Amino acid sequence: MNMNREEIIAALSPDKDPAELFALADKVRRENVGDAVHLRGLIEFSNHCRRRCYYCGIRAGNARVRRYRLSPEQILDCARTAVRLNYKTIVMQSGEDPHYDPKALASILEAVKTETGLAITLSVGEHSREDYKLLRAAGADRFLLRFETSDRRLFSMLKPDSDYDTRFRCLAWLKEAGFQVGSGVMSGLPGQSLESMADDILLFKELELDMVGIGPFIANPDTPMAGAHNGTLEAALRMVALTRIVTVNTHIPATTAMGSIDPKGRQKALRCGANVLMPNISPAEHRSDYSLYPGKICVSEAPEDCAGCMDAMLKNLGRARAEGFGHSLKSIEASPR
């Protein structure tokens, strides 16, 4: 559905009652992507990171983090857990960990794909055009790379060792390599204007993304942004609703960050546009160390606990798990094997 920048800004404004917006987004979701919810098992396989993004708890140099890295065998075990819990997709996420370079990742992808046949999403940051091709050929189907904010000035304030244009070039390379591509932003960042949030949403559409993830910014006390104001759930939900209305058939998760600032955050997101959940399937002993922000949920649960919790959540909402892989509703590129 077309909305212009002014209309989006008006709908994002905190003065405006969001009830109508949320109802419209729920309707667009139902009519275009249906009632089924896709479960993507999240494996946080390394919290080592070479970057120093100011908002992020696993930034390089944060001595308070206990660093860990799962072995290839442990990653494969997580994938087996996903199969057991009847998830059809795993998301392999890490910091930008030089130990797991694309060659090392490729051999893990091949092993996981061959044994499990799961759909695989990577979320491992910025790499070269050639490396993205390598990862795609090794069996990864999808890739998540949030651009975090469309505001160039804010971007450079948040990500001191990243470049705005490079980030968008990576998104183009991912698409060229044949990935189903997801991106997204944080909402409620310090200094983020309604105008720039409207531009975020317009960019989601322009980039023809397959997936869009949005979560509230949550200030981490072990980062330079300690003490900053958190984003609100409501602002994040307005972003989700508008993203659904404007992009129509993208996959939109009810994110962990939403569930972390409000115990009903993910349920609310599923009722205003979201159609994906990302249950954590990382091993219990490392969960609390993937500490992007404080108050993260599911750190003391086992994979089966989150599966049960999510099934109960869906039942309560009158929704059900999706059956298939939940590939892009836009892209036609098939998995290489």
Interface positions with ligand FES (CB under 6 A): 279, 298, 301, 305-306, 309-310
Cross-strand pairs, 261: none
Among 148, 151, 199, 210, binds ligand 5AD (CB under 6 A): 148
Residue 56 interacts with which of ligand 5AD, ligand FES, none, CB < 5 to 8 Å by class: ligand 5AD
**Does 8 participate in binding ligand 5AD (rule CB under 6 A)?**
no
Residue 306 interacts with which of ligand 5AD, ligand FES, none, CB < 5 to 8 Å by class: ligand FES
What's the closest the beta carbon of residue 304 comes to ligand FES, in angstroms? Answer: 10
**Does 95 participate in binding ligand 5AD (rule CB under 6 A)?**
no
What's the closest the beta carbon of residue 110 comes to ligand 5AD, in angstroms? Answer: 25
Encoding tokens for residue 62? 């944060």
Three-state SS letters, the chain: CCCCHHHHHHHHCCCCCCHHHHHHHHHHHHHHHCCEEEEEEEEEEECCCCCCCCCCCCCCCCCCCCCCECCHHHHHHHHHHHHHCCCCEEEEEECCCCCCCHHHHHHHHHHHHHHHCCEEEEECCCCCHHHHHHHHHCCCCEEECCCECCCHHHHHHHCCCCCHHHHHHHHHHHHHCCCEEEEEEEECCCCCCHHHHHHHHHHHHHCCCCEEEEEECCCCCCCCCCCCCCCCHHHHHHHHHHHHHHHCCCECECCHHHHHHCCCHHHHHHCCCCCEECCECCCHHHHHHCCCCCCCCCCCCCHHHHHHHHHHHHHHHCCEECCCCCCCCCCCCCCCC
Residue 301 interacts with which of ligand 5AD, ligand FES, none, CB < 5 to 8 Å by class: ligand FES
What's the closest the beta carbon of residue 243 comes to ligand FES, in angstroms? Answer: 22
Which is closer to ligand FES, CB of 180 or CB of 291? Answer: 291
**Does 235 participate in binding ligand 5AD (rule CB under 6 A)?**
no
Among 293, 297, 307, 310, binds ligand 5AD (CB under 6 A): 293
What's the closest the beta carbon of residue 310 comes to ligand FES, in angstroms? Answer: 5
Which is closer to ligand 5AD, CB of 295 or CB of 324? Answer: 295
For 69, phi and psi rounded to 5 degrees?
-150, 125
What's the closest the beta carbon of residue 19 comes to ligand 5AD, in angstroms? Answer: 26
What's the closest the beta carbon of residue 33 comes to ligand 5AD, in angstroms? Answer: 23
Q: Are 278 and 91 in contact (CB under 8 A)?
A: yes
Which is closer to ligand 5AD, CB of 146 or CB of 205? Answer: 146
Q: What is the CA radius of gyration of the chain?
A: 18
CA–CA dist 244, 123 (Å, integer): 22
**Does 220 participate in binding ligand 5AD (rule CB under 6 A)?**
yes
What's the closest the beta carbon of residue 175 comes to ligand FES, in angstroms? Answer: 31
**Does 246 participate in binding ligand 5AD (rule CB under 6 A)?**
no
**Does 56 participate in binding ligand 5AD (rule CB under 6 A)?**
yes
What's the closest the beta carbon of residue 77 comes to ligand FES, in angstroms? Answer: 19
**Does 217 participate in binding ligand 5AD (rule CB under 6 A)?**
yes
Binding site for ligand 5AD (CB under 6 A): 55-56, 146, 148, 186, 215, 217-218, 220, 257, 292-293
